[in-house]
Chain A
């Protein structure tokens, strides 16, 4: 049997189509309703409630906790302020990305790291000779993500915390109608939103409080399908979809460096020693071979391809996670790894790895699309990530 999340009693009851899928050994819902449209629109227009408990969570504490994280992560952890949250990838010695997640400074000597993959062993390998404890708290902490323009209002109604001053990528300890929680202003949607972390034993209670308090603000439980569209619009990476973890790759060509994933801004080469430093310094000097970019498919071109077979253009109803080749003048110069129809932008968008010389914004490319069982090339152009940059996310 697979594991269920602490919210399962509530999520299971709401499932209309039993659209279960796996996430990190757990069963979670792709969508609650039969179509995910309304769940997506809650993210952008009201507030969506997404069960993100399957994330791996590690509590790192001790005199060397900062030292350990500073060694593992390319970001400068000595600069992490109390209650600051940082998004960061981390690399192996060859400078290739192993995983990405967030790290929160809960206290001077206490951090929480979230990850998409298990990382306990890797953390231990790096903690040789350090005074630090690393605890896997994945199962004991439940997490729900509240995303959307009304999310702040909902929380203000039920949480004892100063949410007006809580800045983007900061966290605060709060009590939600008696439930001790940590609220971080983070998310995976590119919208105004929060992630709420509570003891797994209080998860169901939290769910109920949120639903009650959010009803007036259009709170809607949302599944992975809705989240997937939002995260593509926001240009956010997904492990094993947009990149292969260096710990899973079977050949070197499958791996990517932070520079190749558009995460060069997280790499602080000038700080103290960290894993992958030398390789990353070299790569920075040399310039990365690949870039991670947005792709916007040209609507007229897509329409034309369908018109040739006598059909109206078809757009993907859910985000896809397969690989689509990108061509320039008939030569493959990259591949898109995720794509979807953006209901908000009304554009067919995708995220792609492109050889650096073809990665300039606006470069005309072709993306492979399948039209009536036949492979075609739709015109497209290289676009900036994120596709959607909402002011309210930070405000």
Chain B
């Protein structure tokens, strides 16, 4: 067997986030010699677990998993590499009046609780679950396909469009119209057709606003509701799971699989540029000046960095550059990680109940969420933000010293474009707002805090390179999905530079720890090989 030069690879993947790792693993599995370059000291991108404070390990950014594609888990044999996902079974929404709304995993229990708030909703809930099941079935093939270009006349695109047309046509009138409504409506309106219980509507609609700069009453927020049902077809709140060891555990498992297939992963290796010769990528230049050669270069970074930083914009078509500049990032969420000396004690449900093993959602009403958005619209962080809180140490005790806990608070809205810009004082003020909001429902929280880490969208941009701190590498809005993600004509993982590909969440289908972008990109790269 011929030996190959150490500095020449079949493929170099820029960015060791979960999509980059998935792409690398698939390429390595196909026998390619693959190198992954990660700027930070850990792999995972936004899916990392770090011991931020001694003894306290956090899923620093992304904190739950719901959509990791089952085919990836199978193909890469991730359970063998340590992947273990534990369900987050309940969602507790504390209410300002001292009551609560809880969504339990058990059907009878869930119904009983819903019935307490609204007998009609208790029934609607099952039917809603059934509709969502159909919708998830309708969307699944789309998530798994490379988006065809509707303007193209190439046989492959026409075939893809034909397949898509047949798929939609085959749904039948009712399901098609329901899907159309889901794609175009606001989550508030969509849910109002089904439910009357305010905290139920708000807690469900919150999923529609995550990662977007829209309020729950804006059209286009309903379809993200589907994400909650993609892994959940029995109608129960079981969409979200928590990875053992934090979300970094997922990245580690994928990295381990990639290494098993022969991929090399280098951390603390920042890429400054993609080397392009004659319109063709030939390797990368690292920040320290090293140049590495590769037949194929794959970027797992977001479209802004992929096109405008790794490449020289002057060498790109004008409309592409304009398109990237118009691509909406505008991060809208922050993260607060707390190390706790004791568990929070919620006034509405005191003690150490099963609710602490689930999610706690600060979303008492649609108006609450909408007001949170109102603040952000005009450049302020929400005075009363929406929050999705979990206590990972309840599920995996290794994340904190015995008896102590870690708490993860996802917070929206925290606009990237804050009036006057983000600084230390504003960050701390934001952290205080979050703690104050939560402490209204769990008064012992403040005294239980040992350490606190506050991450603004600006911090996310600086730390893990998410432009404007958008957690999905670009808003999940209708005009930025499918064949429009990231840009029309460039939605098939390719770029105008030959042998340079994109595989990040900024491509179809994007968003969440799904890995589908990385897999589909690898499939396309291998097709071109």
Contacts and interface: CB of A to CB of B under 8 A. Distances in A.
Interface of A: 1-3, 22, 25, 118-122, 124, 136, 247-248, 250
A205 to B, nearest CB: 26
A136 B120 CA distance: 10
Given A124-B120, A247-B127, A250-B130, 19 more contacts: A1-B109, A2-B108, A2-B109, A25-B108, A25-B111, A25-B112, A118-B111, A118-B122, A119-B123, A120-B120, A120-B123, A121-B120, A121-B127, A122-B123, A247-B126, A247-B130, A248-B126, A248-B130, A250-B133
B130 A121 contact: no
Residue of B111, B119, B124, B130 with most partner-chain A CB within 10 A: B119
A254 to B, nearest CB: 11
Contacts of B109: 1-2
B108 A121 contact: no
Residue of B108, B122, B124, B133 with most partner-chain A CB within 10 A: B108
Nearest to B172: A252
Contacts of B120: 120-121, 124
Interface SS of chain B: helix, strand, loop or mixed? helix
Nearest to B107: A25
Interface residues of B, number: 14
A120 B112 contact: no
A1 B116 CA distance: 14
16 contacts: A1-B109, A2-B108, A2-B109, A3-B112, A22-B108, A25-B108, A25-B111, A118-B123, A120-B120, A121-B127, A122-B123, A124-B120, A136-B119, A247-B126, A247-B127, A248-B130
Interface string B103-135: 000001101100000011011101100100110
Nearest to B108: A25
Contacts, number: 32
A82 to B, nearest CB: 29
A124 B127 CA distance: 15
Nearest to A26: B108
Contacts of B127: 121, 247
Contacts of B108: 2, 22, 25
A119 B127 CA distance: 12
B124 A121 contact: yes
B88 to A, nearest CB: 21
Contacts of B112: 2-3, 25
The 3 A-B residue pairs whose C-beta atoms are closest, nearest first, are A121-B123, A25-B108, A118-B123
Interface of B: 108-109, 111-112, 119-120, 122-124, 126-127, 130, 133-134
A121 B122 CA distance: 9
Contacts of A25: 108, 111-112
A4 to B, nearest CB: 12
Contact of B119 (A22, A120, A122): A120
A158 B120 CA distance: 39
B191 to A, nearest CB: 15
A248 B122 CA distance: 14
A226 B119 CA distance: 32
Nearest to B106: A2
Contacts of B126: 247-248
B138 to A, nearest CB: 13
Nearest to A122: B123
A122 B127 CA distance: 11
A68 to B, nearest CB: 16
Residue of B111, B126, B133 with most partner-chain A CB within 10 A: B126
Nearest to B134: A250
Nearest to A1: B109
Contacts of A118: 111, 119, 122-123
Contacts of A119: 123
A256 B108 CA distance: 25
A98 to B, nearest CB: 11
Nearest to B127: A247
Contacts of B124: 121
A250 B129 CA distance: 10
Nearest to A121: B123
Nearest to A3: B112
Nearest to A245: B126
A247 B134 CA distance: 13
Contacts of A248: 126, 130
Contacts of A1: 109
Nearest to A139: B115
A1 B133 CA distance: 27
A136 B130 CA distance: 23
A3 B116 CA distance: 13
Nearest to A22: B108
Contacts of A22: 108
A178 B134 CA distance: 53
A199 B244 CA distance: 51
A122 B134 CA distance: 20
Nearest to B121: A121
A122 B120 CA distance: 9
A134 to B, nearest CB: 10
A139 to B, nearest CB: 9
A20 to B, nearest CB: 13
Contacts of B133: 250
